[in-house]
Amino acid sequence: MSELKKIPLFPLNVVLFPASKLPLHIFEDRYKIMINKCVKEEKSFGINLFLNDKIFLTGCTAYVDEVTKTSDSGELDIVTKGLFRYTIADYELSSDGYFTGNVEFNSENNLISDTARLYEAVNLYNELIGIVYKGSIKTIDPDDEKWSEGNLSVSFLMAEKCGLNLNERQKLLEINNEDDRIYFILNYFEEVMPKLKDADRISSIIMSDGYIVQ
């Protein structure tokens, strides 16, 4: 077991992926304290999915990439960027009212061995965003060196804009192996692509899209 690290926690109705950007509005006093402290000390915090009164233990650390607005009441509009996946070992309430947790960082394996599945998944993703976003979202190049070098996860990038629900996003976040994540995404595409002629399905994908285009 690797060494545990104590971090502030921000349970939310969102799933953050490594390298993804999410805008957040900070209005609760306890989280205004937490975010301001993280900005001042240049520290990261953890985002965990909070759904149906349950905190999911696998989350992703984030840092404040940008503070876009500060109100007179101290409310903040920020852009967060995901860093590393972790699993909570235990957590407690801090004196400032927000949770802190001892977390163990998950092993990262972004290397892809099944290139055939990579091409299949990326081609379906590019087709999907072409239909849904009509050219406003960049397509993915499966031959980009950053995928073969394992620097970034192409599955997490695809997950930002393809319409996965919160439970599906959480399941993806919990998978340690990139080949397995691509297989998960591919199964989703094969299920959803025949339904893309349905305007309601397209609307649901757009409505679930909270990530910032990079």
What does the pLDDT average to over 160-165? 94
Where is 24: in which H helix or E strand? Answer: strand 21-26
Q: Which residue's entry shows tokens 């073969």?
A: 148
> Is 90 exceeded by the pLDDT of residue 142?
yes
Domains of the chain: residue spans and CATH: 5-105 (2.30.130.40), 115-207 (no CATH)
What pLDDT score was predicted for residue 196? 81
Please give the mean pLDDT across all residues of the chain.
93
Reported as a pLDDT band with limits 50, 70 and 90, residue 163 is very high
User: In degrees rounded to 5, what are phi and psi of residue 16?
Assistant: -100, 135
What pLDDT score was predicted for residue 2? 67
Reported as a pLDDT band with limits 50, 70 and 90, residue 214 is low
CB distance 49 to 22 below 8 Å: no
What does the pLDDT average to over 18-32? 97
Q: Which residue's entry shows tokens 């989703």?
A: 188
> Is 70 exceeded by the pLDDT of residue 1?
no
Tell me which amino acid residue 109 is. Answer: N
What pLDDT score was predicted for residue 197? 72
Of the segments 73-82, 128-137, 190-199, which one has the largest average pLDDT value? Answer: 73-82
pTM of the predicted model as reported, rounded to 2 decimal places: 0.93
Reported as a pLDDT band with limits 50, 70 and 90, residue 67 is very high
User: How many other β-carbons are positioned within 10 Å of the β-carbon of residue 1?
Assistant: 5
In this structure, of 72-81, 167-176, 194-203, the range with the lowest mean pLDDT score is 194-203
